Structure 1
Amino acid sequence: MSSSKFNLRAWASNSPSLRALTEQYKVAETKETVKVLGLCWNVGLDELSLCSKPEPVRTPVTKREILCYTSSIFDPLGLVTPVTITTKLLLQELWQDNVSWDIELNDTYQLKWASIVADISIASQQCFPRQCIPKLDPSAATLHVFADASPKAYGAAVYIHCGNHSSLLISKSRVAPVKQHTQPRLELMAAVIAARLGSFVVNSLNHTTDTFYWSDSQIVLSGSKVRRA
């Protein structure tokens, strides 16, 4: 790289010895937090957090402003899905009520949105360990995929477990369709997301890992038994 006049710099690492080496050659990253794959990485603490820190909502609060604010939240791993799904539910309500794009929302919707913004602000400050299973053998880990559904939303979450430690890896959620579906159907839709998410994580880990799928729906459990048979 030097022969081609490429000046390498801003190296970041959670290894103290490697950081010392980069400082010696004056190529160390000076910022305490850097961006990695859409997330913020605190190098010293080795923790991930959301980089998305939306600006305060401008007034008046309209459907357009809510959509703009919601779109600025980037959560590729679904680490704060319980918060982000509420924004989608509110937007669905606004669509169902045929609320115009630039009409100020009524007091009921504004109170709901204020509560959601407060939750987003708290979620943006949460940090998650980058290393899922610290100081343990990854080959001994097991994956646990949970699927669940409600009349309003459905989804799945993948956890990795080893010994007495477990970590959230990824989650995905969907707002229930406007056309009302039965609860068993929504549970099955959640199971489909769980199966796809589990398969994605197993392939990404690139090694054999025991995977367990969990659901509290008798329809889903009975269906899986029939398929296995």
Structure 2
Amino acid sequence: MCRLQLGWDEEMPANELQQWKNLIEQLPRLANFKLARNYTPASFGKVKSYKLHHSSDASQSGYGTTTYLRIVNEAGEVHCTLMMARARVAPLKRSTIPRLELTAAIVAAHMNCKLQEELDIPLEDSVFWTDSTSVLKYLLNEEA
């Protein structure tokens, strides 16, 4: 439509309108679309263990977290692959760095729960990484 230089409120030509309707009719078929994702290299061999490693961090600009799947084979070789990542811009209403660090850690925990549910592989205990002593102290506080 851009190539035809039509305005947003102008009617589409009949041919393009029919193509658009065909596309819309086929969209529900995407609900059944599945794509197998291979986590290991082809020559990696038999896998001994799978473990999720989550890393979270924050700054005044924003916060984020990444999740990697760490795979070890029978020969002790390690392969890591990115599974998921999230990044957010810090809220307009100013927040402290410790609060943003804690928010990033919470996002990592949510990602862990989601991946534990969705992955069909035998996962060991997850590992969480942070450079925030505030988050570590909060987690160790039994009174909160």
- Tell me the equivalent position of 1:157: 66
Instruction: From 196, 199, 211, give the equivalent of 2:110.
Output: 196
- CA gap 1:183/1:131 in 2 versus in 1, 3 angstroms: same
Deviating runs (4+, > 4 A) in structure 1?
136-139
If asked which structure has higher relative contact order (CA below 8 Å, sep 6+), I would say 2
Instruction: From 210, 214, 219, give the equivalent of 2:134.
Output: 219
- Tell me the equivalent position of 2:83: 169
CA distance in 2, matches of 1:162, 1:185: 32
In the TM superposition, 1:1-229 aligns within 5 A as 130-134=37-41, 135-137=44-46, 140-163=49-72, 164-206=78-120, 207-227=122-142
CA distance in 2, matches of 1:208, 1:139: 11
The answer on whether the counterparts of 2:98 and 2:132 sit within 8 Å (CA) in structure 1 is yes
Q: Comparing both structures, which one devotes a greater share of its residues to helix?
A: 1
The one-letter code matched in structure 2 to 1:132 is Y
Corresponding residue pairs, total:
104
Q: Comparing both structures, which one devotes a greater share of its residues to strand?
A: 2
Unaligned runs of 5+ in 1: 1-35, 47-129
What secondary structure sits across from 1:191 in the alignment?
helix
The answer on whether the counterparts of 1:141 and 1:161 sit within 8 Å (CA) in structure 2 is yes
Cα distance, 1:139 vs. partner?
A: 5.8
Cα distance, 1:173 vs. partner?
A: 1.2
RMSD: 2.7
Cα distance, 1:189 vs. partner?
A: 0.7
- Tell me the equivalent position of 1:111: none
The one-letter code matched in structure 2 to 1:212 is V
TM, length-normalised to structure 2: 0.63
- CA gap 1:193/1:138 in 2 versus in 1, 3 angstroms: farther
Q: Deviations over 1:66-89 (max 9, x none)?
A: xxxxxxxxxxxxxxxxxxxxxxxx
What secondary structure sits across from 1:173 in the alignment?
strand
CA distance in 1, matches of 2:67, 2:101: 16
Q: Equivalent pairs: percent with the same residue?
A: 33
The answer on whether the counterparts of 2:52 and 2:123 sit within 8 Å (CA) in structure 1 is no
Cα distance, 1:132 vs. partner?
A: 1.6
CA distance in 1, matches of 2:142, 2:54: 18
